[in-house]
Amino acid sequence: MPLPKPQWIRTRAETFAGQPSEVDKVLRRQNLITVCEKAHCPNRVTCSGRGVATFMILGDRCTRDCRFCAVEHGKPVAPDESEPKKVAEAAVLLGLDYVVMTSVTRDDLHDGGAGHFVKCIQQIRLHAPDTHIEILVPDFRGVDNNALDILGEALPDTLNHNLETVPRLYSQVRSAADYVHSLRLLKDFRKRYPDVRTKSGLMVGLGETDEEILQVMQDLREADVDMLTIGQYLQPSPGHLPVLRYVHPDTFALFERQAQRLGFVHAHCAPLVRSSYMADHFTGRP
């Protein structure tokens, strides 16, 4: 039996009543997709009401099948060469001064999709030069050095890569990924491009302990990661990993205080926090 949701988990319906929001209209016009919709984000209505969304580039099918993630997996289609310009145009149409882009994992591409991220960044810089850009990237496992070189051609303002969970649970939660590799990706990126903020996110409720979360936070700081998000895992469907515990808001507050002590520039820790949620408010910028 699934655990009953506690009173502090409050999600709004993911369907919109009445007319589509302005965000929806622009996305449909530009033929773009968002991780907000594909990953069943509980904050979708809230963010759409604020006029923001997280673009998901490189298609809607992932080459991996992580057991926590609602995004479809399977054979992806070829990258859409018109997508970078469409993303930039959407950012202008929505009046975004902060753009967040993520992607499915593309193990089928020689560069893991890094070149497509660069094209999107270049188009946004061209059409909206004052816009702050955050990219949430996959692990580029197998092509990481090449991917980091490519990203250097058009750097974002913030690079985000989510560790997602503690090392002990990687085989269950991210079976095709590797904790040490993901941590090294963040560390190596920061060494190469020290002026770019780095960020990572974690889920709780998958069987980890608070002590393990605190150790991951320490690992991230040792990798010189600036910003952190921690949120409650919510099971997207009965076929995904179950929620093993609902973490109390007081514990999230403890994580946030510890993050401040460790020296994170910013930490956002609460039950419904996701890595891109309110990213424009919590940039780590002075």
Domain range list for the chain: 22-269
Instruction: Look at residue 16 and tell me whether its pLDDT is greater than 60.
Output: no
pTM of whole model > 0.85?
Answer: yes
Q: How confident is the model at residue 283 (pLDDT cuts 50, 70, 90)?
A: low
pLDDT for residue 286: 46
- pLDDT tens-place string over residues 174-196: 988 999 999 999 999 999 999 99
Average pLDDT, the chain: 88
- pLDDT tens-place string over residues 245-282: 999 999 999 999 999 999 999 999 999 988 876 667 66
Measured between alpha carbons, how far is 93 from 95 in angstroms, rounded to an integer? Answer: 6
**179: helix, coil or strand?**
helix
Measured between alpha carbons, how far is 120 from 127 in angstroms, rounded to an integer? Answer: 11
- Which of 109, 236, 116, 245 has the alpha carbon at shortest distance from 169? 245
Report the C-alpha dihedral over residues 209, 214, 219, 224, rounded to 10 degrees: 150
Q: How confident is the model at residue 228 (pLDDT cuts 50, 70, 90)?
A: very high
Measured between alpha carbons, how far is 56 from 38 in angstroms, rounded to an integer? Answer: 9
- Contact between 160 and 198 under an 8 Å Cβ cutoff? The reply is yes
* Number of C-beta neighbours around residue 13 at 10 A: 9
pLDDT for residue 278: 62
* 33-34/197-204 β-pairing: unpaired
Q: How confident is the model at residue 173 (pLDDT cuts 50, 70, 90)?
A: very high
Measured between alpha carbons, how far is 137 from 102 in angstroms, rounded to an integer? Answer: 6
- Which of 130, 67, 66 has the alpha carbon at shortest distance from 97? 130
Mean pLDDT, range 19-39, rounded to an integer: 72
Instruction: Look at residue 49 and tell me whether its pLDDT is greater than 50.
Output: yes
Instruction: Look at residue 31 and tell me whether its pLDDT is greater than 80.
Output: no
Both structure tokens of 31: 């033929």
- Which of 135, 170, 127 has the alpha carbon at shortest distance from 151? 135
- The better pLDDT of the pair 132, 23 is held by 132
Measured between alpha carbons, how far is 251 from 71 in angstroms, rounded to an integer? Answer: 28
* Of 47-51, 73-77, 207-211, the least confident: 47-51
- pLDDT tens-place string over residues 272-282: 988 876 667 66
Q: Which CATH number fits domain 22-269: 3.90.420.10, 3.30.420.40, 3.20.20.70, 1.10.230.10?
A: 3.20.20.70
- The better pLDDT of the pair 97, 16 is held by 97
Q: How confident is the model at residue 124 (pLDDT cuts 50, 70, 90)?
A: very high
- Chain position carrying tokens 């919709």: 37
- Contact between 223 and 186 under an 8 Å Cβ cutoff? The reply is yes
Instruction: Look at residue 84 and tell me whether its pLDDT is greater than 50.
Output: yes
Both structure tokens of 188: 């190596």
> Looking at 23-177, which runs of residues are DSSP E strands?
33-34, 54-57, 98-103, 132-136, 158-160
Q: Tell me what percent of the residues of the chain surpass a pLDDT of 70.
A: 87
